[in-house]
Amino acid sequence: MSGFSDGWRWSELAGLAALTLALLVLWQIPGVGLVVYPFRLFGTFVHEISHGLAALATGGDFQRFTVSPDLSGLAWSAGGWRWAISSAGYIGSAVFGGVLILLAARGVASRILLMVLGLALGLLCLLFVRNLFGISTGLALAAAMFLAGYRLRPPWSDGVLLVLALQLVLDGFNSLFTLLRLSAGSNVQTDALSMAQATGVPAVVWTVVWATISLVMLALTLRLAYRRPAAAASAPGR
């Protein structure tokens, strides 16, 4: 990879598409999925933090959250708009992942983004995480991201950032089948079931909507990331 700030070529976008497909496949293979476990765990943290930020943004209070080894999580909040808070996990993750890709594609150094992510995650864990597994793994992930940004050079830092960002964008799609099973066949409390209780729209519908948003966000992100600045596009060839 030539580096995000140099502009992406079609061959690099094809490689990104291949990486996306590989992640989706790896997540579904028992044992092999452990390779991407830390990245999926990071996605869980962002998912729960997105719930809390939605609560704050709609006038509520973000109290705490927990993260479990099975990649599930729970966020506690008070007040705010419940429908926005319930939807924020998947939508917030997709938006945040897309923003990371766009920032990198527009010239923000992946090393800087990784260090900022590490510092932000560490701070939020200290403020809001309230279980041992969550605080220990959250701080470990935060330290790993900061060190990756500090020590790695492109294209390695670019690759780490891309996998993290794609994990977030694909969060809704990756959980589609799990949520469909739980939403259709049980009373297990999920974000989709919370939305169904708040709106009257079936949980399965919300599951499909969030997965669709994830795919749309990925397509939009790739389109915007490939688009070069106007000045560069109009510059005479050499």
The tens digit of pLDDT for each residue in 12-42 reads 666 666 777 777 777 767 777 677 889 889 9
The percent helix, strand, coil of the chain (3-state, each to 5) is 75, 5, 20
| Cis peptide bond prior to 155, omega within 30° of 0 | yes
Locus of tokens 């690759």: 159
- Residue 78 sits at φ, ψ, to 5 deg, of -135, 140
Residue 67 CB partners (closer than 8 Å, separation 6+): 41, 44, 45, 48, 73, 129, 131, 133, 134, 137, 138
Both tokens assigned to 127? 């403020």
Locus of tokens 């590989």: 22
Locus of tokens 């009373």: 187
Pick left, alpha or beta for residue 235 (phi over 0 → left; psi -120 to 50 → alpha; otherwise beta): beta
**What is the reported pTM?**
0.83
On the question of pLDDT at 210 being above 70, the answer is yes
Tell me the average pLDDT across 214-225: 79
- Distance CA(67)–CA(48), nearest Å, equals 8
Per-residue pLDDT at 14: 66
What band does 148 get if pLDDT is binned at 50, 70 and 90?
Answer: very high
pLDDT digits (tens, 9 = 90+) for 73-132: 999 999 999 888 988 988 888 889 889 988 888 889 999 999 999 999 999 999 999 999
Both tokens assigned to 159? 């690759």
